Amino acid sequence: MEMRFLGGTGVRVSVLCLGTMTFGKNQWQMGNMTLPEVKEAIKLCLDAGVNFIDTADVYSYGESEDLLGQAIQGIRKDLIIATKVRMRMSDKPNDIGLSRHHILESCDASLKRLRTDYIDLYQVHIWDPVTPLEETLRALDDLVRWGKVRYIGVSNYAAWQIMKALWVSDRHGWVRFQSLQALYNLAIRDIEVELVPLCQDQNLGILPWSPLAFGLLSGKYRRNAPMPQGTRMQGPLKDFLPTDWDRVYNIVDVLDEIAKGHGVPVAAVALAWLIQKPAVTSVIIGARTLDQLRENLKAAEVKLSQEEMKRLDEVSARPMPYPQWMIATVGQDR
């Protein structure tokens, strides 16, 4: 398994990261993995060379972290563990957001559930429009200085929000974000407009979530075929991702051709495309079953040719917005 540095740190993480949204109760009908299955999933990943696991306090409202904490006893030092803070955890008025109060309380709660003394990567889950940015970043800096957290990351921020946060951190001499966890896949390439160039410029590692677009790129969905039943697209999040079905089918057609040439599942090619994209550090793979996880792990062995990458880039391309198209066509004269 290839290892890459996490942002501007000296820590190396595997190009595949185990996502844990399916650990615990069937939240949003994403999965329902029990402790024995969680332990087996982690063993499969370790055997494949994965050393990176991502969770969040809100996943099954703490149960995902709790199951992960139980499963990593005795092997904690071999893993890089990431979790997140920001989402509502109860109906209490301050059990949400990125206030100093909620961050410090949530970090201690995550540490307890994870049964560990430190969190390798502590990520803010989404922008908090109410809490001053300085309050959030100072609290995160304190957690690093106290040894409870080693590095911090950001998720689901706009480019201007990340850049503002980096400026505030630099101005005060506080620790900086080292990674961006963002929605990124062949069907949804929005982050390439602003966020990818920002991460390249500021040396943030990109951690794509939903790399198979809730299974749309797994090969289960085919043109002129019945919709598969019991999938995420029939669950409560079925309208969460914007879906252009004709475009999805066109992408899957090309994925299928390339997958047959490599002798791997369609999903493995979709994941391999992401692994080979600029600034991507580690692709977060979730799985509802151990068989799905085994198939997804094969992506680390797939090396796509330049021609195969080009075919996938072209079939999934979207029109470039202004000013990006003007920068690309007129601003490259230096």
Residue 174 has a CB neighbour count (10 Å cut-off) of: 19
Check whether 206 has a pLDDT greater than 60. yes
Its domain, for residue 149, covers: 3-330
Q: What DSSP assignment string belongs to 274-328?
A: HHTSTTB--EEE--SSHHHHHHHHGGGG----HHHHHHHHHHT--PPPTTHHHHH
Mean pLDDT throughout 142-161? 98
Q: What's the CATH code of the domain at 140?
A: 3.20.20.100
Nearest-angstrom CA–CA distance, 16 and 52: 7
Residue located via tokens 């803010």: 124
Q: What is the pLDDT of residue 40?
A: 95
Q: What is the pLDDT of residue 45?
A: 96
Q: What rounded mean pLDDT belongs to the chain? A: 93
Three-state secondary structure of 203-260: CCEEEEECCCCCCCCCCCCCCCCCCCCCCHHHCCCCCCCCCCHHHHHHHHHHHHHHHH
Query: Residue 235 — pLDDT band, cuts 50, 70, 90?
Result: low
How many domains does the chain fold into? 1
Nearest-angstrom CA–CA distance, 98 and 85: 7
Q: What is the pLDDT of residue 301?
A: 94
Instruction: Give tens-digit pLDDT for 4-30.
Output: 999 999 999 999 999 999 998 866 666
The catalytic residue positions are: 59
pTM of the model: 0.94
Reference 19, options 40, 45, 49; nearest CA is 45
| pLDDT above 70 coverage of the chain, percent | 94
